[in-house]
Structure 1
Amino acid sequence: MKFFLLIFGTLLFFTSCKNSKYSLDSNLYKNSFKGVLVIDPIKKDTLYNHNSTKYFTPASNTKIFTLYSSLHILPNKIPALKYSIQKDTLYIQGTGDPTLLHPYFKDSIAISFLKKHSNIALNTSNFKDNKYGPGWAWEDYDTYYSPEKNGLPIYGNVLTIHKGNNLIATPNYFKDSITFSNLPKRREEHTNMFYYNSASTDTITTPFITNNNVIKDLLEDILQKNITISSRLPEGDKNILYSVASDSVYKRMMHKSDNFLAEQLMLVSSGVLTDTLKFKIAKEYILETKLSNLKQKPRWVDGSGLSRYNLFTPESMVYVLHELYKNLPKERLYTLFPVVNAPKIKKEDTMQKPYLYAKSGSLGNNYCLSGYLITNSGKTVIFSFMNNHFVRSSSDIKKEMHQFFEHIRDTY
């Protein structure tokens, strides 16, 4: 009898899932491209499959691969500095750690360490990447979500400006480079000259240009001591100073879809694997070792998903999500993924119990969502739903997607 009920329930779900195609085949998706894969990880059943082996622009769903890579490569705390002491001089190298005086983390472990030394030499030769990822939009240079990458980030590589009784700039080093202006841009493209609307009371965050001199000057301003730029580090093993708990960075990256953290985590990962900070090193290591069984190898060009050059399939997303599901305690896994709330259509929707733990990804005309769905019966299913090239509003797309998710939640 129990067996019969199980078979009947399964057939009922598949039938109702097919009937639910009214939403996925609605005119909303006309002339656009969608891919969906939903699996039951315990039964190893495929519950829904549509275009799951086709390639899509994933946007910030790319951060799922960055999370997976970081969890496999990085220790429990983020490496903050590599250093070596020779005679009376402390030689330091950045590891790509994004948390040093970051507006959110405000980590100062490295600063406290550096204050103990009188003579400091900074070497930056280990950073071998470009400051921007391939395919990033050039006009985003002054937007908060597109800071430059580098080997020794500081203040999140952004200038934060707000106005109370006086104009407050963090870091204060750039205060004399701020001009009141009504121009739509917030910074000159090729110089650290910033603009702030005199009538504004908003807090704005603008990336600054990073180079050896800027990083050196910022450190000197904080430490109130001279720093030299060294072309080399002493031979031999290097010591490592650690900063914050790695999970705190992963959680911030996933919950806020923080592009800067994602990019820097891939650099930190490459620095753990080798002596070089370069996205490609960490990417190739993961694809060639931990993810060598992927049936559709992605075109993976950055850690954040800012680039439209990225191409991933729903099947690849679900594969990585399944690996995370198998290898992480559920309470830790679901903490790393943000809760996704359904679009509020009715007032009573505000009381809805969370059931989606997933990462979204948005670019113009693209919206993707991949993660874990908890059904009313207590089952967990893993899904990736990718939408590309739609010309309707993304809110319409989200409402249709959530009808599909709610159907699975209520019937499986």
Structure 2
Amino acid sequence: MPKRISLGFLLLFLGTQVSIIPKPVQAQTQVVPAETTTKSICSAQLGASVDAVINRPVFSRARWGMIVQPLSSTQTLYSRDAQKYFTPASTAKLLTTAAALQQLGTDFRFRTSVYRAGDGVLSVVGRGDPSLTDAQLAALTKQLKEKGIRSVNQLVADDTYVRGDIVHPSWQWEDIQSDYGAPINSLILNQNVFNMKILPQSVGNPPKVIWSDIIEATQWQVINESVTVAENQPTFINVTRDLKGQTLRIQGQLVVNSEPTLVSLPVLSPAEYFLRRFRSTLLAEKIPVVQTFVSSTQVKNEEELANVESPPLSELVAQTNVNSNNLFAESLLRALAIKKPPVENQTSASAGLEVVKATLTQMGVDPAGYSLVDGSGLSRKDLVSPEALIQTLQAMAKSPAASVYRASLPVAGRTGTLKNRFQNTPAQDIVQAKTGGMSGVVALAGYVNAPRYGPVVFSIIVNQTEQPASVVRQAIDEIVVLLAQLQNC
């Protein structure tokens, strides 16, 4: 099967690194378990035990924020700088998904429609469904064929539903070149990324590039400076995009006879990408399309001819949190814009953030405890206090959507971004928590079902650390294992 190379092996060249892993997020690297034997710790001893971890010399320059409470009350078992702002990374998704469940409901679905918009004209109206794939395009095509559509003079992509920039202005250049920083718009397809394989050839020759989408290959100029090397040599591949946009540079080396490397890249113009794929799908069913274009103004539509719906919000939220999917989080944020009256020139993201603030405030989350600019936590302008995260977790535990919210979180040692953490420790299976991480930031917040104490809620954020993320994660995991071993004394 194709090889997936860790980002740790990539080199940064003239452009910016893009992910060569097709999934949005991988489970985090396994570290040596902090504690493999079962013991107990009294709640009164928790502070000293946590401080012993945080105050290690290796963390002398890092900022730690943390708070722990029983789920049954707001009594604080431990607190350190819990009211101060930290960069939350993906733990910000806890706020976005909480507001989405409260406002939209667990059964909410995105709808994508194809309308008749004149003689021989079809208009596709997207509403920001992050789960739409080629399979749904095939379903739309089948419905159109059943309605007697045999040719299309003009296929229009109505990309007006989601208003504003397709990527947040504060996202870093390296992020928007990676699949985890894919653009967000009304007509999202295949999570707005495309894939290709890089296959080794004979020694001394450049590896071969194979595109999963031949049409997409025509959109790029590829400069392949990589080489195939002999066995027992290291493998590393780096794909960069220049600042002008449509030139890909491939550098590095692949070992002869090794498995191909998968590369996942964000599309440049998502609405045009959607049209290319839909046109190709229609043509495969012998429905030719004469012309396509993207409309920047709302199209006057007539009869709805076809539609597809996303899975329910309960499943979308699980995809958002279990796999820490930025695109899904940003789509949910923009979907919240329907819950407030439209304001001229206001973006869907800004409207969604206002709904998040109002919703969380109503739930009892201190509005001064966070300042978000996006829904995923990818921006370094996002600021959240550990206290705001724990207030959200506490409030959602009392919500009608409590079970759905909690089920959306990774399970220690089992699923998502916690699959490879806490294995063979007392925390395995009894911790459900959202991870967060970017350069200099490691975070974890969620629930612990401590068997000898009762349910506990915690939030831990570490900023401004020069230590490898694995070192910080192991320290956080040690603390969470302590929470799993709490008992009433």
Smaller-chain TM-score bracket: 0.7 to 0.9
**How far is the alpha carbon of 1:388 from its aligned partner?**
0.5
| Aligned partner (choices 397, 401, 411) of residue 339 of structure 1 | 411
Q: Shift of residue 264 of structure 1?
A: 1.9
Offset, 1:328:
4.4
Q: Which residue of 1 aligns with 2:361?
A: 291
Partner residue in 1 for 2:72: 42
- Aligned position for 1:9: none
* TM-fit CA distance, 1:111: 4.8
Does residue 112 of structure 2 align to residue 81 of structure 1? yes
- Deviation of 1:71 after TM superposition, in Å, equals 1.2
1:170 alignment partner in structure 2: 212
**Which of 173, 186, 204 matches 1:138?**
173
Distance (whole Å) between structure 1 residues aligned to residue 103 and residue 213 of structure 2? 32
Find the residue that maps to 2:384 and give its secondary structure. Answer: coil
Equivalent runs, 1:2-401 vs 2, <5 Å: 13-20=42-49, 21-74=51-104, 76-82=107-113, 84-86=115-117, 88=119, 89-101=121-133, 109-113=139-143, 116=147, 117=149, 118-119=151-152, 120-162=155-197, 168-176=210-218, 177=220, 179=222, 181-182=224-225, 184-195=238-249, 199=254, 201-210=260-269, 212-224=271-283, 225-226=288-289, 227-230=292-295, 231-234=297-300, 241-271=308-338, 278-292=348-362, 293-295=364-366, 296-328=368-400, 331-341=403-413, 349=424, 353-377=428-452, 379-401=454-476
Q: Is the 8 A contact 2:442 2:462 kept in 1?
A: yes
Amino acid in the other structure paired with 1:29? F
Task: Assess if the C-alpha contact under 8 Å between 2:373 and 2:379 holds in 1.
Answer: yes
Distance 1:113 1:290, change over 3 A: farther
More divergent stretch after superposition (177-186 vs 285-294): 177-186
Q: How many residues align?
A: 398
Q: Distance in 1 between matches of 2:425 and 2:444?
A: 21
Instruction: Report the CA distance between 1:154 and its aligned residue.
Output: 1.4
| CA shift digits 1:258-284 (9 cap, x unpaired) | 112212222233256567862111110
Shift of 1:229: 4.1
Greater shift in the superposed pair: 355-364 or 171-180: 171-180
**Cα deviation digits, residues 165-194 of structure 1 (max 9, x gap):** 986533332134463613633444433444
Q: 1:130 to 1:85 in 2, by over 3 A?
A: same
Higher mean C-alpha deviation, range 23-32 or range 306-315 = 23-32
* Contact 2:160 2:298 (8 Å CA) reproduced: yes
Shift of 1:376: 2.1
Shift of 1:394: 2.1
Note if contact 2:188-2:270 (Cα within 8 Å) is conserved in structure 1. no
Quick one: distance in 2 between partners of 1:232 and 1:100? 21
- Mapped to 2, the partners of 1:269 and 1:172 lie a distance apart of 36
TM-score, length of structure 1 as denominator length: 0.84
In structure 2, what is the Cα distance between the partners aligned to 1:273 and 1:152?
A: 22
CA distance in 2, matches of 1:14, 1:62: 28
Alpha-carbon separation, structure 2, partners of 1:351 and 1:372: 14
Separation (CA, whole Å) in 1 of partners of 2:409 and 2:293: 42
Q: 3-state SS of the aligned residue for 2:42?
A: helix
Distance 1:112 1:350 in 2: 51
What residue ranges of structure 2 are gaps of 5+ in the alignment? 1-40, 201-207, 227-237
Alpha-carbon distance in structure 1 between the residues aligned to 2:244 and 2:192? 15
Which structure features the higher share of helix residues? Answer: 1
What secondary structure is seen at the aligned counterpart in 2 of 1:382?
strand
| Structure 1 gap ranges (5+) | 1-11
- The one-character-per-residue Cα deviations of 1:283-317 (angstroms, maximum 9, x if unpaired) are 10121244254322422011111111000001111
Shift in CA distance, 323/84, structure 1 to aligned 2, threshold 3 Å = farther
* Aligned equivalents of 2:399, 2:477: Cα separation in 1: 28
- Residues 218 and 372 of structure 1: is their aligned pair in 2 closer, same or farther, counting only changes over 3 Å? same
Q: Which amino acid aligns with 1:283?
A: L
State the distance in 2 between where 1:128 and 1:192 align: 24
Deviation at 1:223, TM superposition (A): 1.9
Name the % identity. 20
TM-score (norm 2): 0.72
Retained in 1: the 8 A contact 2:195–2:211?
yes
Query: Secondary structure, in 3 states, of the residue corresponding to 1:45?
Result: coil
Contact 2:129 2:331 in 1 (8 A): yes
Counterpart position of 1:4: none
Task: Specify the SS of the correspondent of 1:69.
Answer: helix
Once superposed, what is the RMSD of the aligned Cα atoms? 3.4
